[in-house]
Amino acid sequence: METQQEIDYNRIAEAIAFLKSNFKNQPSLEEAADHVHLSQFHFQRMFQDWAGVTPKQFLQYLSVEHARYILKNTEATLSETAEETGLSGTGRLHDLFVKVEGMTPGEYKNGGASLSINYSFAESPFGNILVASTSKGICYMAFVNESQTEALQALQNQFPNAHYTQLVDGIQQNGLFIFNQDWSKLSQIKLHLKGTPFQLRVWETLLRVPVGGLTTYASLAQQAGHTGASRAVGTAVGSNPVAFLIPCHRVIKSTGETGQYHWGATRKSAIIGWESGLLQNAV
């Protein structure tokens, strides 16, 4: 049975899909509310509670013009961007993630035979999420698009020889604090990732894209030191094993379109809008 939070998420996700597909017509609040069978009052309140912005603002945040506006501003330094967002006291957003540690070649080759992995399911503003950790950090985080059994199987496919325990630990909790906007906890987040040196470089570069900001595959390739390798960078982005914490949702097409997302295009748009709301409320 769905929880109330899941019901609310699905309803808002349906509204977002409606707004995206009808964006050129700029649907009214009444039309969007009718689509999800809510009164205008309840729809406005639910949407704002969930996303932190009104439906009208959300349309603005997802517009091509808005995306291009943010892209133009990514030329600012990280410290300047961090200061503008007001979300980090460190002055550099990527310092919030104090360590990105790739697994050793042995751990990579043997499918995690030496690893003990704790995992748990949790609620997020964007639906159920599976998070897993080793003693060194979070090694996997994924939105649950199917059953929990299938989601767990996808994790186990990543590390077929590891030992698994369903257990909530402090490493997982520190990572999940990001959804509660408890920014004071972000300095405690550690990541323990399985990937090639190229993938690790791309994922580490993704951590430097500030909250509320967007980048393109070409720009990300350049920042990662692989100018011209947009396609390879795109493949690395699509292989990201840690949803949201490694913000692959902040990578969009050069045309300004949001593009696809491993956990669903609607969820990607929702996250971009949610983060835009945080940016708007912080300045």
How many CB atoms are located within 10 Å of the residue 88 CB? Answer: 21
Q: Which residues of the chain have pLDDT under 70?
A: 1-2, 23-24, 51-53, 59-100, 105, 108, 181-187, 278-283
pLDDT at position 160 is 92
Q: Domains along the chain?
A: 4-62 (1.10.10.60), 67-282 (1.10.10.10)
Q: Which of 202, 248, 251, 271 is catalytic?
A: 248
Determine contact, residues 215/230, Cβ cutoff 8 Å.
no
DSSP states of 111-179 as a string? Answer: TSTT-EEEEEEEEETTEEEEEEE-SSSEEEEEE-SS-HHHHHHHHHHHSTTSEEEE---HHHHHHHGGG
How many CB atoms are located within 10 Å of the residue 94 CB? Answer: 18
Determine contact, residues 171/190, Cβ cutoff 8 Å.
yes
Amino acid 201 reads R
248 is catalytic: yes
Question: Would you state the structure tokens that stand for residue 244, as one six-digit string?
Answer: 């949201």
